């Protein structure tokens, strides 16, 4: 058999965990009162470290002491995989299938218990050991490990008892890799579990009808909650919905472009309807109404607009962002891109004015081109 683990297994598992519109992230970052997403990430990282690193471990080193350490590193790398797999099974509450299995080492104890003994004997705590047999309660101390005395690697097990003789404990690398491959391949089972869980998540939410309210402000609130329930609070359409919420909360009666702003805000209902339909059908895709909530600005002044948006979407106490935006707003005013009252507007008012003017400008260009 090949003495390495297939990289494709952890790669496919990581793709599943990070895919499905971050379904696992949103479900497990706050699950049963714990951030289990962090556990999943840690497990995947260390599995990948072990899988990548094991083929590089030199098991033919000419120095016996270095070789002993290298073999310990191999066993510890395998243990990283085993412990990470255990964590993942606990996170997903899936039954681990090898609890009582002893098919690899054919010992009276389970393979998992035997492997823990191998790990201890070959380096993790070789000067403080117990017997591997169920009835052996003695204390043992291992010598350094040596290659090819018996099997692939072996140690002399010294006892602290006057009545017990020393004996040789040995392992075959082939058996170690058979043991860890069986456990590593359980990622495929977890892969299937996550995919099935995601499918059930989609089915359960598609049948739950999202209520539609006549008032746009209430529809936004409903969709924000549904977006979080279905995709998480910071994913899917959360950004577009947060912008629409800001725009609808503005008191714009005193704005000189009140009429134009009113018409623009009405157009946002088209965006809300499309988002609602996509959320209802659990279809995360690009919005055909994207240009309404994100109207394209005059590309000639792209840099200036970028500084203004940095200010609009940053914290109120970000003085640097405000200073840069103030210069850019003045430049846009001088170029007749923004009205002369732009510096007196709040962030949300400024966003509404920019979006209204840009949207109307884009519509005028489209009509002209037709």
Write down the pLDDT at residue 3.
Answer: 76
Could you tell me which residues are beta bridge partners of residue 170? 154
In a domain, 202, yes or no: no
Does residue 203 lie in a domain region? no
CA dihedral 22, 27, 30, 31 (to 10 degrees): -150
**From the CB of residue 137, how many other CB atoms can be counted at a distance below 10 Å?**
8
Could you give the residue ranges of the DSSP H alpha helices within the chain?
Answer: 7-18, 23-28, 36-53, 64-91, 111-119, 173-184, 186-206, 216-231, 238-248, 258-280, 290-293, 302-312, 319-334, 347-369
Residues sharing a CB contact under 8 Å with residue 122, sequence separation 6 or more, in sequence order: 71, 72, 75, 142, 145, 153, 155, 171
What is the reported pLDDT for 46? 97
Is 252 inside a domain boundary?
yes
For residues 139 and 106, state if they share a domain. yes
Shared domain check, 238 and 178:
no
Q: Is residue 197 part of a domain?
A: no
155-167 exposure pattern, b = at least 16 Cβ within 10 A, e = fewer: bbbbbeeeeeeee
Q: Enumerate residues 6+ apart whose C-beta is below 8 A from 196.
A: none
Predicted confidence at residue 160, as pLDDT, reads 87
- What is the reported pLDDT for 366? 66
Domain annotation covers residue 201: no
- Decide if 205 is inside a domain: no
End-to-end, the C-alpha distance of the chain in Å comes to 68
- With CA atoms as reference, report the closest residue to 158 among 170, 146, 142: 142
- Decide which of 162, 192, 222 is a domain's last residue: 192
Asked if residue 178 and residue 224 are part of one domain, the reply reads: no
Same domain, 253 and 341: yes
Residue 246 sits in which domain range?
211-369
Q: Are residues 146 and 241 in the same domain?
A: no
In a domain, 2, yes or no: no
Whether residues 156 and 227 fall in one domain: no
For residues 138 and 242, membership in a common domain is answered with no
Q: Are residues 230 and 331 in the same domain?
A: yes
Residue 370: its pLDDT value, please? 47
Task: Find out whether 220 and 244 touch, Cβ atoms under 8 Å.
Answer: yes
pLDDT single digits (tens) 107-161: 999 999 999 999 999 988 888 888 888 778 789 899 999 998 899 999 999 998 8
Residues 221 and 352 in one domain: yes
Q: Residue 305 burial by CB count (10 A; 0-12/13-18/19+): exposed, middle or buried?
A: buried
Of 192, 220, 238, the residue that ends a domain is 192
Number of Cα atoms under 13 Å in the Cβ half of residue 241: 25
User: How many structural domains comprise the chain?
Assistant: 2
116 and 168 inside one domain = yes
Same domain, 162 and 218: no
pTM here? 0.82
- Could you tell me if 189 and 89 are in contact, meaning their C-beta atoms sit under 8 angstroms apart? no
Q: With a cut of 50, list the residues of the chain below it in pLDDT.
A: 1, 370
Where does a domain end: 192, 221, 241?
192
Provide the pLDDT for residue 291. Answer: 95
Whether 270 and 244 have beta carbons less than 8 Å apart is answered as no
Evaluate whether residue 317 is within a structural domain: yes
Residues 161 and 229 reside in one and the same domain:
no
């Amino acid at each position: 058999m090949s003495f390495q683990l297939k990289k494709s297994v952890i790669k496919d598992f990581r793709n599943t965990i990070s895919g499905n519109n971050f379904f696992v992230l949103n479900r497990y970052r706050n699950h049963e009162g714990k951030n289990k997403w962090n556990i999943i990430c840690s497990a995947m990282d260390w599995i990948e470290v072990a899988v990548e690193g094991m083929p590089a471990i030199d098991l033919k080193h000419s120095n016996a002491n270095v070789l002993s350490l290298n073999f310990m590193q191999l066993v510890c790398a395998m243990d990283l995989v085993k412990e990470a797999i255990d964590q993942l099974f606990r996170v997903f509450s899936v039954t681990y299938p090898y609890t009582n299995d002893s098919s690899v080492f054919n010992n009276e104890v389970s393979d998992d218990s035997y492997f823990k003994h191998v790990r201890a004997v070959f380096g993790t705590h070789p000067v403080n050991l117990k017997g591997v047999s169920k009835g052996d309660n003695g204390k043992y101390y291992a010598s350094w490990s040596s290659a090819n005395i018996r099997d692939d690697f072996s140690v002399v097990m010294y006892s602290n008892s006057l009545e017990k003789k020393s004996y040789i404990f040995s392992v075959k690398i082939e058996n170690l890799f058979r043991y860890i491959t069986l456990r590593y391949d359980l990622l495929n089972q977890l892969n299937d579990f996550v995919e099935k869980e995601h499918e059930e998540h989609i089915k359960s939410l598609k049948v739950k009808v999202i209520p539609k309210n006549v008032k746009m402000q209430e529809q936004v609130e409903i969709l924000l909650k549904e977006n979080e329930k279905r995709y998480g609070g910071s994913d899917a359409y959360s950004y577009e919905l947060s912008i629409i919420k800001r725009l609808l909360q503005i008191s714009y009666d005193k704005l000189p472009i009140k009429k134009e702003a009113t018409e623009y805000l009405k157009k946002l209902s088209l965006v809300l309807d499309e988002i609602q339909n996509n959320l209802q059908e659990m279809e995360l895709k690009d919005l055909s109404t994207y240009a309404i909530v994100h109207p394209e600005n005059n590309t000639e002044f792209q840099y200036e607009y970028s500084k203004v948006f940095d200010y609009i979407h940053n914290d109120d106490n970000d003085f640097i962002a405000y200073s840069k935006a103030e210069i850019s707003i003045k430049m846009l005013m001088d170029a007749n891109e923004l009205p002369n009252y732009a510096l007196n507007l709040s962030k949300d008012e400024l966003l509404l004015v920019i979006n209204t003017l840009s949207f109307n400008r884009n519509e005028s260009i489209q009509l002209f081109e037709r």
